[in-house]
A and B are shown apart, each in its own frame.
Chain A
Amino acid sequence: MPLLDKLRAIVGPAHVLAGIELSPYVIEGRTPEAAVRPGNVDEVAAVIAQAAEAGVPVVPWGGGSAVGVGVPPARAGLVLLLTRLSALVEHEPGDLTATAQAGVTVAALQAALRARGQWLSLDPPDAARATLGGVLAANASGPRRHLYGTARDLLIGVTVVTADGAVVHGGGKVVKNVAGYDLPKLFIGSYGTLGVIVEATVKLRPVPDEERLVAVRFERLEDAGAAVRALLASDLIPNAVDLIDAPSGAALGLPPAPATLAVGFDGLGEQVDWQVAALASVVAPCGGAKPAPLPPALWERLAAAARDAFDAPAAMMTLSVLPGVVADTMEQGAEAARQRGLASAWCAHAGVGHVTATLRAEGERQDAAPIAAVLEDWRAAAHAGGGHASVTWAPLPVKSALPVWDDAGAAGRLMQRIKAQLDPNNVLNPGRFVGGI
């Protein structure tokens, strides 16, 4: 029996997409052979087992918001849609934990949790579209990671389907657990290359009494960088410290300024009030203006401010550097682009050194060479800042002009050994990740 018929037998004919139905699932110009929508974990396992047997690669797909990340695949294979696995399986407020299926969108999950006074303290962009499983697989994060960390600080249990179709659990449902290896850590940020996340258990937090976002404007980026260092060295406990350059600020509708620091606080009302007042005296010596309130609706747009700065981006890069050099990296990066005649937009979760940059496309005909050259400059800047940088989006000609992922060095060989152990036949999202994994 051909693979498609086997898949139809597993999930029902209505949930196997082919032909024109595949147009939303084209990956970097390649059309998959089919897309399949399993309705439960057993069906996911059966689908993967069949694909593995047929030698067809499997691309797990949540909301599709990170599908442009990584090396273009040699073959798009079978797109495995997880959107039907969208149940909130368990939420016990007294335990501050919840278990949900991978296909639930972040927005839907948060709405259900908030209805009971709690939230998952992870705020990646595109919450209405991004799914829990996808956010974990891509290790996506947002401004509040400054205080609350990333998926590795919140994920306590995970269920995955491995390349051989086995259903495997790691971690558990309790907030503290050292039994066995920490498999949740292994799957976070693994982009579906080691297993398909089908269910996750996360730590929750109570919704704070109050939350406020304020903007501090600076005449120079480097002054804002000094203010970030002063803020980190102060007694204040912000939940977000985002540094935004002029083009990103314009995209967010902020008043024009060479640099804006968006700082968030949460907690009891008096804590928030006191901190906003104290912030003014922390930033003033660095040249910061008086903190001005920002509309709460801006929170969810902060993480993607640089991405959304240009109607026609030419490439995007994410840089991980030491917090102390974020402003310098942004300044140097923008200058490197200018020198090649290109405009760029930058934003950063500055307190944790997570920087995002976008290049603007100039005109109709785009030459990949200068774009790739700027990206190489940015990568060099990240290395100089003690970190690394990877291309998170770019057209195919740019992606073929420089390595999409940074070089993981000796650790990269260890990653390849892990991939070889867990997916020896290269079934899961092959060829897209670090080191050719």
Chain B
Amino acid sequence: MATLTAGRKPVLRRELEALVGADGVLSEPDELLVYESDGLTLFRALADFIVFPTSVEQVSAVVRLANREAIPFVARGAGTGLAGGCLPAEGGLVISLMRMNRVLEVDYDNQIAVVEPGLVNLHLSQAVGPRGFYYAPDPSSQQACTIGGNIATNSGGPHTLKYGVTVNHVLGLEVVLPDGEIVWLGGRTRDALGYDLAGVFVGSEGTFGIATKIVVRILRKPQAVKTVLAVFDRIEQASAAVSAIIARGLVPAAVEMIDQLTIQAVEDAFGCGYPRDAAAALLIELDGLAVAMETQAERIVAACRDAGAREVRTAASEAERQLLWKGRKSAFGAYGRVSPAYMVMDGVIPRTKLPYVLGRVNEIVAAHGLRVGNVFHAGDGNLHPNILYDPRKPGEEARVVDAGAQIMKVCAEVGGSISGEHGIGLEKADFMPFIFTAADLALMQRLKDAFNPRGLCNPGKVFPTRKSCVETGPVAYRPHAIETQGLAQRF
């Protein structure tokens, strides 16, 4: 990979402007700073240019230019990622897709939509909502994150328990490959011809190319929704309730767990009606047919009571339901009430290991002299321990990072994974050997080489390597620009 000389930059700037327009290129240091990190501000790196194409042809032309110059490039959506996955290499191009944000087509008969990558996730559901449809994957950042970014990380969300993650909703992609060629992977029909390249592309964290059009499934809104809050005096009871619900043959749309520290922070901040003295609460949502919804809710209530719930409450109105969900969705923002900073972890474990792993998480965090709040997708075993700390205290951030690594090791040891929805990016590249052998990684590398043989497309991500030029040591926390604007929180 080449590094641009000071003399080369103005020449390249003019060329990029010729491709995407004068208002489509940023290169001033203060402008570049905005793009130096994503939602994980631990890692930062500056690009030479931020480029804003508006069409697939422009994306392709920019990528071809990067190839000619042998400089690295990375696609970027809203920058809400939490693993450093869209950071530039030191230098090179950031290709922002934020100006390609249209819903190009909605085919209600066939229940598909064709969208551009910069479309905000929630905007798709808003666009098709009036006709009774929605887009199922609902990452907690859905009011800011883009569908293109969701493609990169294969995003999840609370309702993926029943409806699956991003890849289960993507049928086809128009992609600019790392050499600039434009190809379609998959299409509009359900079954791909040949290898499932769209399926392989989703979750490749921007290392296989840049998606420029995305064909997604849209779903009919369910006839009925019911939301239940179950309150527990011991966290093990809440964990047991999750298994009990599954064991009774129920598949709720969502099963979210919120622990005491988080409940108290949420109540301080928003007053959503969670009991402050509870050790844990489960927020359980059922959806589907109106008929028999009561019967299913009764089964859920019975399962929770048998597991020792002291109170099980069903939202009596849509307003009450929204309030319960507000408590869950605002949890991350509420941590600001109890701590100057926190770092969110993302790990997955088999559901039956919840009690053990939650205990281990608490032990690890306590041993590091820190506190942890848990709010997570209990139904599919996707943990989000949030370690609270004070970045002004020397050494505390380093302890957070160390505790996080130990928690990931525990997830791996019980047969789980080191990421359920945030991705590997830079943050967890060195954790990959926790769950993958050298042979596993070698095969992934060969797959990458088929897509990205020169390695110019989002270098330094996913694979364990210490050659990255990025600042990797722990640095003081500071809010990202989109956080201070209130556009996103750290989920």
Contact = CB atoms under 8 A, between A and B. Distances in A.
A139 interface: yes
A268 B296 contact: yes
B193 A434 contact: yes
Interface in B71-125: 107-111
Contacts of A208: 249
A167 B437 CA distance: 10
Contact of A153 (B164, B295, B449): B164
Interface in A189-223: 189-190, 194, 205-209
B350 to A, nearest CB: 4
Given A94-B247, A168-B440, A411-B183, A418 B195 contact: yes
Contact of A186 (B182, B193, B200): B200
Interface string B426-446: 001000100111011111101
B321 interface: no
B194 A408 contact: yes
A421 B451 CA distance: 10
A353 B350 CA distance: 34
Contact of A205 (B251, B296, B382, B417): B251
B153 A410 contact: no
Interface stretch (A74-82, A269-277, A392-400): A269-277
A22 interface: no
A435 B351 contact: no
B350 A95 contact: yes
Contacts of A176: 156, 160, 165, 348, 377, 380-382, 417, 420-421
Contacts of B197: 411, 414-415
B410 interface: no
Contact of B189 (A97, A170, A233, A388): A388
Contacts of A321: 189
Instruction: Choose among B196, B288, B296, B351 the residue with the greatest number of A CB atoms under 10 Å from its CB.
Output: B196
Interface size class, chain A: 35 or more
Interface in B201-235: 202-204, 220, 223
A92 B247 CA distance: 11
A289 to B, nearest CB: 24
Contact of B419 (A177, A185, A324): A177
B191 A150 contact: yes
Given A93-B246, A179-B435, A235-B289, 10 more contacts: A153-B164, A176-B156, A178-B156, A179-B432, A206-B246, A208-B249, A323-B110, A386-B187, A409-B183, A414-B183
A123 B194 CA distance: 21
15 contacts: A173-B416, A174-B381, A176-B377, A179-B417, A179-B419, A179-B436, A206-B248, A229-B109, A235-B223, A267-B292, A270-B292, A410-B184, A411-B193, A414-B177, A421-B446
List 7 tightest A-B contacts by C-beta distance, closest first.
A206-B249, A185-B199, A434-B194, A410-B183, A94-B352, A177-B417, A421-B446
Contacts of B352: 92, 94-95
Instruction: Choose among B248, B377, B417, B439 the residue with the greatest number of A CB atoms under 10 Å from its CB.
Output: B417
Interface string B391-416: 00000000000000000000000011
Contacts of B449: 421
A86 interface: no
Interface in A42-97: 92-97
B420 A178 contact: yes
B195 A177 contact: no
A162 B419 contact: no
A434 B194 CA distance: 6
B60 interface: no
Contacts of A434: 193-195
A37 interface: no
A29 to B, nearest CB: 25
B316 interface: no
A412 interface: yes
Contact of A207 (B183, B249, B424): B249
A169 interface: yes
Given A139-B191, A324-B110, A420 B348 contact: no
A182 interface: yes
Contacts of B220: 233, 235
A261 B291 CA distance: 24
A323 B193 CA distance: 17
B418 interface: yes
B327 interface: no
A177 B420 contact: yes
B130 to A, nearest CB: 15
B305 interface: no
A411 B185 CA distance: 6
A152 interface: yes
A149 B190 CA distance: 9
A306 interface: no
Interface in B114-149: none
Contacts of B188: 322, 386-387
B154 interface: yes
A299 interface: no
